[in-house]
């Protein structure tokens, strides 16, 4: 049984998202979430009050510098990084992982090994597999096609004294399953390798605590975490200091995170990030007395609410004889996020979303750039999967509206 209390108050949540006031139901959140009003306010504030180059002596420049620094500090707090210097900001997760892999490149020897999965978004695969050209050996950790799980025993069998890095997703953007990142980190570290985690499909749903997870690198996209089109990459300080940079030759090796941010980060977007942890804090405070880590408490509420949404949609899908759920068949929000994919017998996946378009419900189909997973599961002829990706601002009523319309065609 799912615990229903304390329940997330959706009226409180939704007032932060002006775009939810219309008649659209947004169920493509894994593609990109709606944005918080205070994030937009901060963008405007920066541009109208402090839109100058950083680092000069005059007061407006000092203020701009402080605001941009506040963005990194807020993100460090959001992911519980020990130091804001461990937070690299960039335009996208794809771009940041490419930068990281390029910085890694000169540290690798031919014969060194990197493990990737077949369940990741391509953003955390190609930057690593392309190092094969330098003689790096690539190994693939594959999902069990029956359980849809990445099994630790399979990873263990791939690790050798030559393994330098394992690249894995925290949650699959197709399967929705949450991988046991801390256990993976322990295993990888026992083999003296490093772990690079794609948290894009996880971070909108659960608290990221990079210290508790003991990850070496962790990345996600802020435009899916209710923020602007930007992304962050966390790296342990000693690793960032040791890696070669990706900036001009005169940028000091000790200049983290700047040595990984050629051209700097978008100033106004960086400042706007300050509004994200503030929102989660406000959410926690609204729902109960202060105490403990408020971001953690907000995500506990979110987890409970998502469990209810999962339960509702999955039990409907389970009852449709033509539907096959692609992912763990559990609604347990400790096991999966509320990203739910399925295929329909005798129906191509591209036929489902257009039916819902007409009812102002936005979902989508495809491979979602996890092309290798869709290929390995044999789902390419179906045009991939139909994906419904719900987040905490989605209501039970919205879920029921989707179910009602899906019931007409499935």
Ligand X SMILES: Cc1ncc(COP(=O)(O)O)c(C=O)c1O
Interface with ligand X (CB under 6 A), residue from 231, 309, 325, 363: 231
Tokens at 73, concatenated:
């500090």
Stretch that binds ligand X, among 47-55, 75-83, 185-193, 198-206 (CB under 6 A): 198-206
Using the minimum distance from each CB to ligand X, give the nearer residue, 95 or 239. 95
Contact of 344 with 377, CB cutoff 8 Å: no
Q: Residue 341, class by beta-carbon neighbours within 10 Å (0-12 exposed, 13-18 middle, 19+ buried)?
A: buried
Interface with ligand X (CB under 6 A), residue from 29, 33, 50, 93: 93
Owner of token pair 């519980």: 80
User: At its nearest, how many Å lie between ligand X and the CB of residue 230?
Assistant: 8
Site string for ligand X, 17-56 (x = CB under 6 A): -------------x--------------------------
Subset of 337-376 contacting ligand X (CB under 6 A): none
Query: How far, in Å, CA of 74 to CA of 271, rounded?
Result: 9
When asked if residue 198 is in the footprint of ligand X (CB under 6 A), the reply is yes
Contact of 114 with 165, CB cutoff 8 Å: yes
When asked if residue 303 is in the footprint of ligand X (CB under 6 A), the reply is no
In our burial notation (b when 16+ CB lie closer than 10 A, e otherwise), range 396-407 reads: eebbebbbebbe
Using the minimum distance from each CB to ligand X, give the nearer residue, 52 or 103. 103
When asked if residue 123 is in the footprint of ligand X (CB under 6 A), the reply is yes
Q: In what order do the strands lie in the sheet with 217-221?
A: 87-90, 231-235, 217-221, 194-198, 163-169, 113-117, 137-141
**Number of Cα atoms under 13 Å in the Cβ half of residue 130:** 14
When asked if residue 201 is in the footprint of ligand X (CB under 6 A), the reply is yes
User: At its nearest, how many Å lie between ligand X and the CB of residue 180?
Assistant: 17
Pairing of strands 361-362, 339-344: unpaired
When asked if residue 121 is in the footprint of ligand X (CB under 6 A), the reply is yes
What single DSSP character describes residue 8?
A: P
When asked if residue 208 is in the footprint of ligand X (CB under 6 A), the reply is no
When asked if residue 389 is in the footprint of ligand X (CB under 6 A), the reply is no
User: At its nearest, how many Å lie between ligand X and the CB of residue 370?
Assistant: 7
Name the site residues for ligand X (rule: CB under 6 A). Answer: 30, 92-94, 121, 123, 169, 173, 198, 200-201, 221, 231
């Amino acid at each position: 049984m799912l615990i229903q209390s304390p329940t997330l108050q959706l009226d409180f949540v939704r007032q932060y998202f002006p775009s939810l006031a219309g008649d659209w139901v947004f169920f493509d959140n894994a593609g990109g979430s709606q944005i918080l009003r205070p994030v937009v306010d901060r963008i405007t504030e920066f541009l109208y009050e402090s839109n100058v180059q950083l680092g000069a002596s005059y007061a407006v420049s000092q203020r701009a510098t402080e605001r941009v620094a506040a963005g990194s500090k807020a993100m460090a707090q959001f992911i519980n990084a020990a130091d804001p210097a461990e937070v690299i900001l960039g335009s996208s997760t794809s771009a940041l992982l490419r930068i990281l892999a390029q910085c890694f490149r000169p540290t690798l020897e031919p014969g060194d090994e990197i493990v990737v999965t077949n369940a990741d978004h391509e953003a955390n695969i190609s930057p690593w597999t392309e190092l094969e050209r330098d003689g790096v050996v690539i190994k693939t950790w594959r999902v069990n096609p029956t359980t849809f799980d990445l099994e630790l025993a399979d990873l263990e069998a791939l690790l050798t004294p030559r393994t330098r890095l394992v690249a894995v997703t925290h949650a699959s953007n197709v399967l929705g399953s949450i991988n046991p990142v801390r256990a993976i980190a322990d295993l990888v570290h026992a083999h003296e390798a490093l772990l690079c985690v794609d948290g894009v499909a996880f971070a909108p749903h659960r608290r990221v605590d990079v210290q508790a997870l003991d990850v070496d690198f962790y990345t996600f996209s802020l435009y899916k975490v209710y923020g602007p089109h930007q992304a962050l990459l966390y790296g342990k300080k000693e690793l960032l200091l040791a890696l070669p940079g990706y900036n001009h030759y005169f940028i000091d090796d000790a200049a983290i995170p700047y040595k990984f941010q050629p051209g700097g980060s978008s100033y106004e977007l960086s400042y706007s990030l300050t509004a994200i942890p503030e929102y989660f804090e406000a959410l926690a405070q609204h729902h109960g007395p202060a105490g403990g880590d408020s971001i953690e408490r907000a995500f506990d509420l979110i987890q409970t609410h998502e469990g209810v949404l999962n339960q509702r949609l999955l039990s409907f899908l389970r009852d449709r004889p033509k539907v096959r759920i692609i992912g763990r068949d559990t609604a347990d929000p400790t096991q999966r996020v509320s990203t739910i994919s399925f295929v329909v017998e005798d129906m191509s996946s591209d036929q489902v979303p257009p039916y819902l378009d007409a009812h102002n419900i936005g979902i989508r189909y495809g491979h979602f750039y996890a092309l290798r997973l869709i290929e390995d599961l044999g789902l390419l002829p179906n045009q991939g999967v139909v994906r419904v990706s719900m987040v905490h601002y989605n209501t039970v009523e919205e879920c029921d509206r989707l179910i009602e319309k899906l019931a007409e065609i499935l």
